[in-house]
Amino acid sequence: MAVQDYIRSRFFPHIWCVGCGHGTVLNVLLRTVENLGLDKRDIVMVSGIGCSSRMPGYVDFHSLHTLHGRALAFATGTKMSKPELTVLVPMGDGDALAIGGNHFIHACRRNIDMTAIVLNNRIYGMTGGQFSPLSGPGVVASTAPNSTYDPAFDVMRLAVGAGASFAARGSTYHVMELQKLLEKAISHKGFSVVEILSPCPTHFGRKNRQGDGVEMFEWLKDNTARLGSKAAEENGELITRGIFVDEERPEYCEQYQSSLEHSRED
């Protein structure tokens, strides 16, 4: 089956800007789904609000485009009520970690079997380039004209600390690696988080003089390194890519199922 079979071409063209990384993420994600041999009928894609959250509209899965920050809460109800479904949740950085931070940590804690994909462009794109909790200090944004001083979350440490049993970081430059990370994340039984560094040339790039889409992709190549690599060890400034945690832990829906059997015995 070709990737085209997984999209709703009726609703194209998509809303993403030239040079945006989100289209690359969608491309890699659909190849991953194809490689894993998943049936479209068994996949639900749930999202919140933002540029990345428009993704469900374009894919030929069951799709639910919800409220800003709340995607994981909606997805939890969907998964819990029909555990045989594969649930994919693309989210933006503001969506997942600012307004949706509470749902994010609790979804990690429950270890419910779904894949949260955080498309991190370090900016609020849809609303015009305001800074996000992943912007970090020294970023110019439309609500930080003299640059930010807010510290950023480290999504990987947050996810691991909150109890996610799989957490990985990739980038839209390193697509083959990203596909492997997504394959592992979707196959993983439990809550998995994949943070994907995805450039926003329109808002982040322009305001922070990082150039166009191509230059921002180059930036990802130059400023990231594989976890445990020599480059990462030698230069602590580089953003690390790879798997930060991959553990087997009791999955939430299975735990509920075994508690059902327990209460039937009572």
Gap between the Cα atoms of 230 and 225, Å rounded? 9
- Among the residue ranges 35-43, 118-126, 132-140, 224-232, the one whose residues contact another protein (CB under 8 A): 35-43
**Torsion 34-16-105-228 (CA) sign:** positive
Q: Is 10 in the site for another protein (CB under 8 A)?
A: yes
Q: Is 67 in the site for another protein (CB under 8 A)?
A: yes
Gap between the Cα atoms of 199 and 20, Å rounded? 6
Kindly state the smallest distance separating residue 53's Cβ from another protein, in Å: 10
Asked if 191 and 108 touch (Cβ cutoff 8 Å), the reply is yes
Which residue lies nearer to another protein by CB, 57 or 136?
Answer: 57
Candidates 19, 56, 125, 201; binder of another protein (CB under 8 A) is 56
Which residue lies nearer to another protein by CB, 237 or 261?
Answer: 261
Helix %, strand %, coil % of the chain (to 5): 45, 20, 35
Both structure tokens of 211: 């150039």
Which residue lies nearer to another protein by CB, 86 or 165?
Answer: 86
Q: What is each CA distance from 214 to 18, 153, 201, 206, in whole angstroms?
A: 10, 26, 9, 13
Q: Is 38 in the site for another protein (CB under 8 A)?
A: no
Find out whether the peptide bond into 13 is cis, omega within 30 degrees of 0. yes
Gap between the Cα atoms of 50 and 162, Å rounded? 24
The 73-102 contact track toward another protein, x by CB under 8 A, reads xxxxxxxxxx-xx----------------x
Candidates 5, 11, 151, 157; binder of another protein (CB under 8 A) is 11
Could you tell me how many residues of this chain bind another protein (CB under 8 A)? 40
Give the CA-trace dihedral at 226, 228, 233, 237, to 10 degrees.
40
Kindly state the smallest distance separating residue 105's Cβ from another protein, in Å: 8
Which residue lies nearer to another protein by CB, 96 or 140?
Answer: 96
- Among the residue ranges 24-32, 70-78, 125-133, 173-181, the one whose residues contact another protein (CB under 8 A): 70-78
Gap between the Cα atoms of 82 and 87, Å rounded? 10
Candidates 1, 36, 41, 137; binder of another protein (CB under 8 A) is 41
Q: Which residues contact 88 (CB under 8 A, 6 or more apart)?
A: 29, 43, 44, 45, 46, 61, 114, 115, 117, 186
| Contacting positions for another protein (CB under 8 A) | 8, 10-11, 40-42, 44, 46, 56-57, 60-67, 70, 73-82, 84-85, 102-103, 106, 256, 259-260, 263-264, 266
